[in-house]
Chain A
Amino acid sequence: MEFGWNTEQRARYATTLAGVRAAFPLDRERDERPFTREDWLRLGKLGVLGASVPERFGGGGLGALDTARVIEAVGEGCSSTGLVFAAAAHQFACARPILDFAEPAVQERLLPGICSGALIAGNAMTEADAGSDVSRLAVTATPTDGGYVLDGTKSFVSNGPVADVYVTYATTDAKAAHLGLTGFVVDRDAPGVVAGPPFEKTGLLGCPAGTVSFDGCFVPDSQVLGAPGLGSTVFQTSMAWERACLFALYLGVQQRLLDACTDHVRRRRQFQRRLSEFQAVSHRLAEMKLRLESGRLLLYRACWELDREVGGDDGEYGGDDREYDGDVRNDSREDDREYGGDVRDDSREDDRDGSGGDDRHDQDEGREDGVLWAALSKLAVSEGVLETAMDAVRLFGARGYLREDGIEAALRDAVPGTLFSGTSDIQREIIARELGL
């Protein structure tokens, strides 16, 4: 077991952090409005939008763990957490399914633009009656000559109002229930696609979200992801990336909050003493640090598991090794109520062959843990950042409640993290089932 980063990894984090700080200097007004095309292109230049995409498509060619560190650095360096979220959702819920399941011609056409920032992608899964349980989608895809006709409305699509391309899911075989869904790539300018205006939201204001409707929208066979009926697996694969890597942005946010709070309590004095000298204050910071580092360990472990499941020369999904984790749950939005959970009796015995060494980790055993680690990580990081943001508000007092310092913004940005990519209760459900309950 090795907990250190190598020279290249440390340098990448430092370079990304410095680059994003230079590209996105503190600007509270910017943080309160949806991102611009210029913002997006800057992220593309920094290598954020396609970090996990192979270099031949213009991406960074990084694995899940190194990609997560890039996202963490951007989360720490850029105060517009909504923008960072938009970028991460674009990559993990859109670029990854296209990379892992789209036809080569579609990959060639879209991935370079997705990596550079020339294109914005949105993941369209959530429906009015399909939140935690998206096994029966009201959006349908009816086979026709040369493709499918999509009809219906997706109710919450992050990046939806501004996206150039959507990854979406529709029912193609209602009798097959959750195994009758199919994933599609749909161009924004395809006839029949209507993107609604941005919603008024609580947090992540840098990321516009809205409805996307399909009204007799023709999608060619070539833009089916994987195969008809494989939508559940396609979506689940993207969720594996999202849960493992996207939440690294909240590690960056926690680091930023911890630094700001540490600085604040050292400077501010009350009752002729520094705030840091009050044990109630210093212990609160100790808890914030504990939460951050616990989340880091879990998230890095989840990414490590994902890296072991991903095959290919440059980070493409191997396809056969990841377990079906049993749910069709959630896209990259902020207020869904998804259901999910792998159900697996985790009753295997630990290393009883007497080898006892450090190099005895069994490949199959590790693969079986991927879903568990992703759920543990997602739960710890999303709840951790929420609690830490609330702690930061308490430590800053009235200043924490005002918009000027951006502390309350972190609290608003943290709330949706407990909802999207499977709610906290869904993660607990997954963990419980992983325990064989």
Chain B
Amino acid sequence: MSDIERADLLEKLIGFVRDDLLNGQAGAELTPTTPLLEWGVLDSIKTARLLAFIRDDIGVRVPPKKMVGDHFKDLEHVTDLVLELQQPVG
């Protein structure tokens, strides 16, 4: 995936978190490196909603074994995870 496509994906994820999970509040402070778990942006329910968005809107299913903190610490890492899972097997 090109840098442009990666940037698009990141922007899409930021938009979802800002508009849907934060209801537009504190949107200006949300950056690709905002610590999502540490700051409570992602709790268990919001994590599930993010996963639903990734599945339904981006077409990537995150397997349970990937559900660890490192992959969700910020949106840069979430983007990397989605890109990794988009890679064709083999």
Contact = CB atoms under 8 A, between A and B. Distances in A.
Interface string A318-332: 011111111110000
Contact of B52 (A321, A322, A344): A344
Contacts of B28: none
A344 B45 CA distance: 10
A180 B37 contact: yes
Contacts of A236: 64
Contacts of A237: 64
Given A326-B45, A326-B48, A343-B48, A176 B69 contact: yes
Given A324-B47, A342-B48, A344-B52, A229 B68 contact: yes
Contact of B48 (A173, A327, A347): A327
B43 A135 contact: yes
Chain A binding site: helix, strand, loop or mixed by DSSP? loop
A324 B51 contact: yes
A206 interface: no
A214 B69 CA distance: 24
Contacts of A265: none
A229 B64 contact: no
Contacts of A328: 44
Contact of B62 (A175, A324, A340): A324
B48 A345 contact: no
B57 to A, nearest CB: 9
Interface in A153-186: 173, 175-180
B77 to A, nearest CB: 11
Contacts of A347: 56
A343 B51 CA distance: 9
B70 interface: yes
Contact of B72 (A179, A339, A340, A348): A179
A179 B78 CA distance: 13
B49 to A, nearest CB: 4
A347 B63 CA distance: 21
Contacts of A321: 63
A320 B64 contact: yes
Nearest to A175: B38
A341 B68 CA distance: 18
A347 B53 CA distance: 12
Interface string B3-42: 0000000000000000000000000000000010110101
A319 B64 contact: yes
A79 to B, nearest CB: 38
Contacts of A348: 56
**Chain A interface category by residue count:** 35 or more
B40 to A, nearest CB: 7
B37 A325 contact: no
A176 B73 contact: yes
Contact of B37 (A133, A179, A227, A433): A179
B68 A230 contact: yes
B65 A326 contact: no
Nearest to B62: A324
A178 B44 contact: yes
A339 B55 CA distance: 23
B43 A325 contact: no
Given A324-B62, A343-B49, A345-B52, A178 B43 contact: yes
B71 to A, nearest CB: 8
Contact of A324 (B37, B38, B67): B67
Interface in A404-437: 433
A233 interface: yes
A208 interface: no
A81 interface: no
B40 A177 contact: yes
A221 to B, nearest CB: 16
Contacts of B72: 176, 179
A232 interface: yes
A278 B35 CA distance: 66
B65 A323 contact: no
A433 B48 CA distance: 10
Contact of B64 (A176, A322, A339): A322
Interface of A: 133, 135, 173, 175-180, 226-230, 232-233, 236-237, 319-328, 339-345, 347-348, 433
19 contacts: A135-B43, A175-B37, A176-B38, A176-B73, A177-B37, A178-B47, A179-B67, A229-B70, A230-B67, A319-B63, A321-B63, A323-B61, A327-B45, A340-B44, A342-B52, A344-B49, A344-B56, A347-B56, A433-B45
Given A323-B61, A344-B49, 9 more contacts: A177-B40, A230-B64, A230-B68, A319-B64, A326-B49, A327-B44, A343-B49, A343-B52, A344-B55
Interface of B: 35, 37-38, 40, 42-49, 51-52, 55-56, 61-65, 67-70, 72-73
